[in-house]
Amino acid sequence: MKKKDLKSIAGLTLLEMLIGVVISSIMMGAIYTTYTVVNNTYSQVTERAKISRSGRDIVEMMMRDIRMAGFKYILGTNTQGLPSRSYLKFVGGNTTIAESHDPIIIEKGESALGPTDGSENRIAIQGHPDEGSKCCDRIHIVYDDFNQNHSTQPYKRYKITYYAAPLTDKDGQRYVAYKSLRSWSQTIDKDDGKWVDDCSECYIGQKIRDHIVDMEFVPLDAEGRVLSPLPRPGSNPEARENLYKIRAVDLRITFRSKSNFYKFKGSKPRFVKGLGDRGHDFDDTKLRDSVVVTIHTRNIGGGL
């Protein structure tokens, strides 16, 4: 090939190739950065939606049960020879929380709660951000029902308990929300009975939600004011009287994500606000979200 023919062939110089590589690298870096940002944003939105969805599920469950508190079944005149009203013994007043049949009893959390066996024991997670703080209330709900096909005990009474307890496994230490259901056993020919855990409907410590940060219940009167002293059975007559002044319950549940989301910067922790003066500081990288609702009690006293 002649020398003049070589000059007519088009091509790229080394400098042009280097410039192309640099521009391509910049474009790839920009595309990767954009992908990372979009992917992280999508993950956060998905996790927030998951927390919100599961939060709504557990809140709807609690709303349904709290609205049933104090319900009494009245059969009325019948041809089956059954009592027109419940014959079940009522235990209230100066008694223990475990024995009580009062519609709603709230136990405020002192440190970390952990009664997986229905006892009053408190179990703390060492090193947990909530250790030593007020966390995780417990609520007991009692209501009546009726089963005409049950020959020995047609009238039923149930006690539902929601509480949070610490759990440690391969995923680390955290709180888990549990639900228990007990039944009052008293046959139609007896004047007394007892709470039992072995009925066909009963269950103890059923796990309903993982990664709980806090669970708070606040009883309100007909004017929307917080009832004080806290309604509960026992020796305090004012606290016993307040048991039947409950017209609504403010409920707050705070959840956290399982995975990490934030890069913690600085020494200032993030604050999760509760109802009233209650709250928690956190300096980890978890995502947290709270659900707050007011639940009206339809079967305790008069209406709002």
Q: Which residues pair with 174 in a beta bridge?
A: 167
Break the chain into its structural domains and give their ranges.
19-296
Mean pLDDT of 263-276: 71
Residue at 119: amino acid letter = S
Per-residue pLDDT for 279 more than 80? Answer: no
Judged by average pLDDT, the poorest of 24-33, 123-132, 135-144, 250-259 is 123-132
Question: Residue 90: which pLDDT band, with cuts at 50, 70 and 90?
Answer: very high
* Rounded Cα gap, residues 299 and 302, in angstroms: 8
Question: Residue 290: which pLDDT band, with cuts at 50, 70 and 90?
Answer: confident
Closest CA to 247 of 70, 44, 38: 70
Task: Name the strand (E) or helix (H) holding 252.
Answer: strand 248-260
pLDDT of residue 14: 78
Mean pLDDT of 212-219: 91
Encoded tokens for 125: 């997670």
User: Which residues touch 17 (CB under 8 Å, ≥6 apart)?
Assistant: none
* Rounded Cα gap, residues 69 and 267, in angstroms: 45
Mean pLDDT of 70-88: 90
Would you say 172 and 211 are in contact if contact means Cβ atoms under 8 Å apart?
A: no
Predicted confidence (pLDDT) per residue in 235-246, tens digit? 899 999 999 999
Task: Provide φ and ψ at 35, rounded to 5°.
Answer: -60, -45
* Rounded Cα gap, residues 269 and 290, in angstroms: 17
Encoded tokens for 98: 């475990």
Question: Residue 191: which pLDDT band, with cuts at 50, 70 and 90?
Answer: very high
Question: Residue 168: which pLDDT band, with cuts at 50, 70 and 90?
Answer: confident
